[in-house]
Structure 1
Amino acid sequence: MTSRAFSRPFLEELECEILERLGQHDLLSTSRVCRRFHAISAPLLLRHIARYRLVNEDGYRSYTRLPNTYKVVARLLHDGDICRHVRYFDMPTDVGSVTVPPDALRAMWLSMAKLVALSLTGRLIAGVLDWGLNDVYFPGLRRLRVDSNSMCPSLITLHIDSLTHLRLDDDVTFPSGDIQATSLTHYHGPLEAILRFATHAKTLQFCTIHEPGTYGRTDWPSLSSLTACRSLRTLMLVLEVPEAVLLRMLENCVRFPSIEILLLKYKIAWYDPTRTQVNQQDRLEPSFERLFAPFPTAKRIAVFDDYWDSDHDSDDDDDDYWLTKQGPIWAERLSKTCSNVEFIAFGEACALTRGPDQRWMASRFTWEFEETFGQWVVPAVSG
């Protein structure tokens, strides 16, 4: 039996349905087969519009910007037919010098019927006051990042009940009223928002709370409502508060039942950054047993202090040396509170792994540990 070329193509709708199932690499190859396939494949290649690379040409982790993103957005503004293929969209809101009419933006949004993930990053946006998002509803939207209140106040309200991923900047005011995030699995944002819907967030698995310190603030709330999130596996608390305040926030937390990965960053008591010399007797023992009592199931733990991340030269080596000496002692004490712990890091200077003989061995801290928490709403793409 001899093979023959197709005398006529499939229906265009069927070909589009077939090609939609291909990955980006295969789709690029298919677009070069013939003009007909190119006409179908080219719009589909815009399903995932990200502004950053995940790795560079040498394969190393890199977050450099992709150069042609703005050109893609300009194309979308003028071609609504392509917009209907977009699923992951990282909107470059920091265009700055470009002024886009609100009606053009609104037409673009309304054409994105298949949108799954939307990232609106940027704060002070020059030339654009209306992003055309008012009362726009994306039926398939599951992942959302908003960095500024100026984007659209109703965007969160309209989609919160169906979102699985939500990332908010710390200056975004969460909408008032009864909010139930019943589908949420990943949250990254300020403390107030997560505490408002924590009791209904039964599916929450990853939670990153970033709360900047406010001078003179005394009304720090309890974190006890988070214990209702029984599916919570990963928790990162970045709080610009002293240890005593963090202890008060945790004192009513009976137990987080499922935490496996935990990162705490706060103002640890053993350092006084105003001093030029930090003596051994001036270092205060942290209350790790009390801090980690609500997290008995934690397997991977990291503890950071704001001072470790600042530029300090005078006692850098002494601090690191002291941490490497104290680390194994603290780890042994912590293992009595968190019996399943396998990895502990006290800053970047002291990382420890628990060996088969239950002894603590020096390890290496990598920032991939922290990247577990701050996952991309619109994933970066390979270079």
Structure 2
Amino acid sequence: MKLCPQQTDDHAVAAPRLPGPTSDISNGGCRTRIGTVSTAEPVGPDRDDLIQRLPKVELHVHLEGSVRPATLLRIARRHGLDLGRLDEAGVVELFRFRSFRHFTELYEQCCAALREPADLQLLTEELADMAHEQNVRHLEVTFSPGTHRRGPGIPFDEQLDAVARGAEEARRRTGVSMRFVVDHVRGESPEECQRVAEWAVAGVPRGVVALGLGGFEPGRPASLFAEPIRWAAARGVPFVPHAGEAVGPEGVWDCLAFDPPRIAHGIRSVEDPALVTALRDRSVVLDVCPTSNLRTAVVPGPQAHPLRRLWDAGVRLTLNTDDPTMFHTDLVAEHRLAARWHGFTVAQFAGMALTAVEAALLPDPARAALRDRVRAELSGLGVVPAYPPGVAQPAPAAG
């Protein structure tokens, strides 16, 4: 395995084009056209500090996409992988994506560098460290076990033991709690998805809470994997797919047939008013990742992102990072971006945090403890949560 930039853009994803006045900013090394913006509140040091101090819950973050460049290099060298002249700055430069397809190809290369259970445990602990620095209280972490069985391979039970050990050590040291979404990569077969579904069900006692579906979306709808999705759901493991990112509303409609409590991304739902109504009426939560959508060219610029339109339409939202080190972001930065470009207030961020508490796939006692903790911290900061129009305190997800 050699870490290297991809040279083709044959499968580049065309971003939805939204009208509006434009200006230029830098987007991860690219020039991007964005709309002129005004915000509902002044942006300044006081609000930035309060955003940092807010208690947060993140439900859409990938373990493999959280690897620090220095850690990736250290792991790759330990396994004797060919790095050429690549150094930490070179890894950072690699993490500049021309398209969604380019991102998924490099993501799989990074996964291939993780060859021992200790690698996964280290990533889990380092992810918790990064979360703790941003006042994140709970994480639902997605990882893709099928990618770690290729080549030398790590058996699933060893993968799960590794991330569970990392989560327990992280909880003891930082107080950050973790649960796991076991993700099937769309490019693999339905038979492989059945294996992943079986792993997800077997992993419930060690902290697995859902079966995910990620990877390159075009031509690989959720319905292709209907049998394993329903098999897992019948055994108490819900389906939390990626959709409405590289594919439009039809991808989200396809997922809704499986009654997901949440959808990762889902932003192109905004293109279909009937779908927006369905999401609102069914209380489906969208785990939105604005910087991710910018970096993979799913949207052409910050103000073109439909975050505000979805909120104003009454859709329940959470803010997330997706693959933070690959996209040069963190959860504090996501909040500040939403404040700057979409006028979100601290009260609305508090509402998103409590929405995430209720949408987290937790048993009732754990959810109640997390809810009490987040509410107490918000009260201590003098912040009263605000929710989308027509939405009161959200109902808990089935955990």
State if a TM-score over 0.5 links the two structures.
no
Q: Which has the higher helix share?
A: 2
> Looking at CA atoms only, which structure, 1 or 2, has the larger radius of gyration?
1
**TM-score with structure 2 setting the length:** 0.34
